Amino acid sequence: GIPLGDDAEKKIFKAGDTNQDGKLDIEEFMNYLKDHEKKMKLAFKSLDKNNDGRIEASEVVQSLKILGIDISIHQAEKILQSIDADGTMSVDWNEWRDHFLFNPATDIQEIVRYWKHSTVLDIGDSLTIPDEFTEEEKKTGQWWRQLLAGGVAGAVSRTGTAPLDRLKVMMQVHGSKSKMNIAGGLQQMVKEGGVRSLWRGNGVNVVKIAPETAIKFWAYEQYKKMFLNEDGKVGTVERFISGSLAGATAQTSIYPMEVLKTRLAVGKTGQYAGMFDCAKKILRREGVKAFYKGYIPNILGIIPYAGIDLAVYEALKKRWLEKYATDSANPGVLVLLGCGTMSSTCGQLASYPLALIRTRMQAQAMVEGGPQLNMVGLFQRIIAKEGFFGLYRGIAPNFMKVLPAVSISYVVYEKMKENLGIA
């Protein structure tokens, strides 16, 4: 028989049971096969660029390039190998139909979706390139469900790792004076404000997910339109530029919330009654400009973070496809999570000094008490007083939260997908 993919039986049953009676009779099953064959024919034709009735490796490369995924001919051959029954290194209609008949992947986007670099892995930093949605996902409303699932996953993940995030901010701001370590920092925070104080500033961190995601998604779509080529497509470099600009637009819009998060995190017990009280006090004492302190290093951090994140992910993906993709191009959950975690960590490592300077600039009015230094002045001061490693103060709790943050966001995202009916 034909081997079925993961959850294929459930998907076939759901698609075939048109009268929703919980049973799949022979008539419904035959209708499913006819309908599914039509969709498979369309997917086959969209890949068969020269209309010779066969899909070749070069056509797979071309089709994936249109979707913003760059692969080599060798990698395309690996994908075809899992479908090619007669060993000709090309796939005809019969091979295509036999492979996908009982595997409910109905279009080329669905077939390559598992290697899409998804931003669902929330590690608390909002500098990633936005997710790419297909026309089908936009028409069916899958896009907003995926964004909602990702938002909820991010909120749960950030809340779960909030104590480590607050510790990172405290070490970034106070670390040079008190030589704070992880255990000592956590004890100090509990002693000063009780266990609840470990979550100080988390409310703002969670609230900003929704506006930031919405603005980033909208801006990404607008910027992509500026880079369309003659065929109405967007190239990989243009996607990266559009994504970076969308990230900068979203960060500009919600940046005052970033300042509030830092001020609440480093504030003492009773200093602020909450988010709105904090905003009122900053406005009264320091004016509107205070809400954009540290803005320049924050924006500058987007390019190294997003660029390295994407480059490392692509390199790991290519390495896996070349070395391990013998029977299937599907890497499985653990490989995807591993690649996502590794690429995000490398991105953080590159942009961390800018993130530290941003946090110091946001907090220096209430903590430093000394001169209000600009980005270059603060950078020189850290190097002079603390050395190069002073730029990486607080990175240990930051790395400690990556694995739990990725795991929590993935599990919650999968649960949300289930509840929202995302295929």
Q: Could you tell me which residues come within 8 angstroms of residue 384 by beta carbon, excluding any fewer than 6 positions away?
A: none
The rounded distance, in Å, linking the Cα atoms of 17 and 26 is 10
Share of the chain above pLDDT 90, in %: 26
* Closest residue by Cα to residue 285 from 266, 257, 263: 263
The rounded distance, in Å, linking the Cα atoms of 193 and 191 is 6
Residues composing the chain: 423
Cβ–Cβ < 8 Å for 266, 174: yes
Structure tokens at 277: 């009280």
The rounded distance, in Å, linking the Cα atoms of 94 and 84 is 10
Structure tokens at 169: 């901010």
Cβ–Cβ < 8 Å for 156, 412: yes
Task: Quick: pLDDT tens for 74-126.
Answer: 777 777 776 777 777 788 888 877 776 655 444 455 555 555 555 555 555 65
* Closest residue by Cα to residue 131 from 144, 140, 141, 139: 144
pLDDT at residue 107, as a whole number: 44
The rounded distance, in Å, linking the Cα atoms of 58 and 111 is 17
3-state secondary structure of 92: strand
Tokens 């469900």 belong to residue: 145
Task: Quick: pLDDT tens for 360-410.
Answer: 999 887 755 566 788 999 999 999 988 899 899 999 999 898 889 888 988
pLDDT at residue 257, as a whole number: 95
Going by pLDDT thresholds of 50, 70 and 90, the confidence category of residue 147 is: confident
The rounded distance, in Å, linking the Cα atoms of 262 and 359 is 7
- SS3 readout for 120-143: CCCCCCCCCCCCCCCHHHHHHCHH
pLDDT at residue 101, as a whole number: 61
The rounded distance, in Å, linking the Cα atoms of 412 and 40 is 32
Least confident piece of the model among 89-98, 123-132, 183-192, 201-210 = 123-132
Q: How many CB atoms lie within 10 A of CB 344?
A: 26
Helical (H) or strand (E) element with 407: helix 402-420
Kindly report the backbone phi and psi dihedral angles of residue 92, in degrees, each rounded to the nearest multiple of 5, phi listed first: -95, 180
Query: CA dist 67 to 127, 132, 134, Å?
Result: 22, 9, 8
Tokens 């590690």 belong to residue: 123
User: Does the structure show a pLDDT above 50 at 4?
Assistant: no
pTM for this model (two decimals): 0.72
The conformation of residue 374, written as its DSSP 8-state character, comes to: -
Structure tokens at 268: 């003492």
The DSSP-derived string for 201-266 is THHHHHHTHHHHHHHHHHHHHHHHHHT--TTS---HHHHHHHHHHHHHHHHHHHHHHHHHHHHHHH
* Closest residue by Cα to residue 268 from 367, 378, 401: 367
3-state secondary structure of 349: helix
Kindly report the backbone phi and psi dihedral angles of residue 381, in degrees, each rounded to the nearest multiple of 5, phi listed first: -65, -45
The rounded distance, in Å, linking the Cα atoms of 363 and 174 is 10
